[in-house]
Structure 1
Amino acid sequence: MTRSPATPLPPPKARRRLRESAALTQPQLATRVGVTPATVRAWESGRTTPRGRKREAYAKLLKTLAEEEAARLAKQEQEREREREREQEALPDPVLEPKPEPRSEPVALTPAQAFDALYAFSAPALVRQTFLLTGRREQARESVERAFQTAWERWPEVARDRDPVGWVRATAYEYALSPWQRFRPRHRHPEPPPADPGDRTLLNTLLRLPPRHRRTLVLYDGVGLDLPETAAETEASTPATANRLLHAREAVAGRLPALADPRVLHRRLAELASNERLRPAEPPSVRGGGERRARFRTRAAIAFTVALIGTTVLTARTAPTHYEPPVSPGQAVRGVPQKVAPGSLSDEELELRQKLRDQMQDGPERLSPRLE
Structure 2
Amino acid sequence: MTRSPATPLPPPKARRRLRESAALTQAQLAARVGVARETVRAWESGRTTPRGRKREVYAQLLSTLAEEAAARRAKPTLTPEPEPRPEPEPRAEPKPEPEAERSPVPVVVAVGAGAQSPAQEVTQEPAREGTRSKPAQGAVDSLVLPAKPLEEQGQQEQPDRGPETEPHSEPMPGAARPGPDELTPAQAFDTLYQFSAPSLVRQTYLLTGRRELARESVERAFQVAWEHWPEVARDRDPVGWVRASAYEYALSPWQRFRLRHRHPEPPPADPGDRTLLNTLLRLPPPHRRTLLLYDGVGLGLPETAAETEASTPAAANRLMRARETLAGRLPELADPQVLHRRLAELASAERLRAAEPTAVRTGSERRARFLTRAAIAFTVALIGTTALTLRTAPTHYEPPVSPGETVRGVPPRVAPGSLSDEQLELRQKLRDQLQDGPERLTPRIE
Cα 1:186–1:23 change in 2 (3 A) is farther
Cα 1:275–1:241 change in 2 (3 A) is same
Q: Which amino acid aligns with 1:228?
A: P
Q: Which string of whole-angstrom CA distances, capped at 9 and with x for unpartnered residues, describes residues 328-366 of structure 1?
A: 3335689878xxxxxxxxxx68x65x97xxxxxxxxxxx
Root mean square deviation, CA, Å: 3.3
Q: 2:126 aligns to what? A: 39
Q: 1:266 aligns to what? A: 340
Q: Between Structure 1 and Structure 2, how many residues are aligned?
A: 276
Residue 319 of structure 1 pairs with residue 406 of structure 2 = no
Q: Is the 8 A contact 1:133 1:207 kept in 2?
A: yes
Cα 1:155–1:335 change in 2 (3 A) is same
SS of the counterpart of 2:264? coil
Q: 1:59 aligns to what? A: none
Residue 120 of structure 1 pairs with residue 194 of structure 2 = yes
Cα 1:76–1:204 change in 2 (3 A) is closer
Cα 1:199–1:317 change in 2 (3 A) is same
Residue 211 of structure 1 pairs with residue 288 of structure 2 = no
Equivalent-residue separation in structure 2 for 1:105 and 1:222 (angstroms): 35
Q: Is the 8 A contact 1:219 1:230 kept in 2?
A: yes
Equivalent-residue separation in structure 1 for 2:350 and 2:192 (angstroms): 22
Cα 1:142–1:329 change in 2 (3 A) is closer
More helix by share: 1
SS of the counterpart of 1:278? coil
Q: Which string of whole-angstrom CA distances, capped at 9 and with x for unpartnered residues, describes residues 176-222 of structure 1?
A: 00000111111121111001000000000000000000000000000
Q: CA deviation at 1:245?
A: 0.5
Q: 2:326 aligns to what? A: 252
Cα 1:332–1:180 change in 2 (3 A) is closer
Equivalent-residue separation in structure 2 for 1:253 and 1:75 (angstroms): 43
Q: Which string of whole-angstrom CA distances, capped at 9 and with x for unpartnered residues, describes residues 51-80 of structure 1?
A: xxxxxxxxxxxxxxxxxxxxxx99969xxx
Residue 136 of structure 1 pairs with residue 210 of structure 2 = yes
SS of the counterpart of 1:236? coil
Q: Which string of whole-angstrom CA distances, capped at 9 and with x for unpartnered residues, describes residues 100-155 of structure 1?
A: xxxx9531111000000000000000000000000000100010000000000111
Q: Is the 8 A contact 1:15 1:44 kept in 2?
A: no
1:272-351 matches, cutoff 5 A: 272-330=346-404
Q: Which runs of 5+ in 1 are unaligned?
A: 25-35, 47-72, 78-103, 338-347, 356-372
Equivalent-residue separation in structure 1 for 2:323 and 2:362 (angstroms): 41
Q: Select which of 250, 254, 279 maps to 1:180.
A: 254
Q: Which runs of 5+ in 2 are unaligned?
A: 1-60, 82-122, 134-160, 166-177, 418-446
Q: CA deviation at 1:270?
A: 0.7
Equivalent-residue separation in structure 2 for 1:7 and 1:207 (angstroms): 43
Q: Is the 8 A contact 2:125 2:302 kept in 1?
A: no
Q: CA deviation at 1:10?
A: 4.2
Give TM-score scaled by structure 1 length.
Answer: 0.67
Q: Select which of 242, 246, 269 maps to 2:316.
A: 242
Equivalent-residue separation in structure 2 for 1:317 and 1:335 (angstroms): 48
Q: Is the 8 A contact 2:132 2:300 kept in 1?
A: no
Q: CA deviation at 1:311?
A: 1.6
Q: Select which of 150, 157, 160 maps to 2:231.
A: 157
Q: CA deviation at 1:16?
A: 4.5
Equivalent-residue separation in structure 2 for 1:22 and 1:258 (angstroms): 44
Q: CA deviation at 1:320?
A: 2.2
SS of the counterpart of 1:204? helix
Equivalent-residue separation in structure 2 for 1:217 and 1:155 (angstroms): 29
Cα 1:193–1:316 change in 2 (3 A) is same
Cα 1:45–1:313 change in 2 (3 A) is farther
Q: Which has the higher contact order (CA 8 A, sep 6+)?
A: 2
Cα 1:142–1:20 change in 2 (3 A) is farther
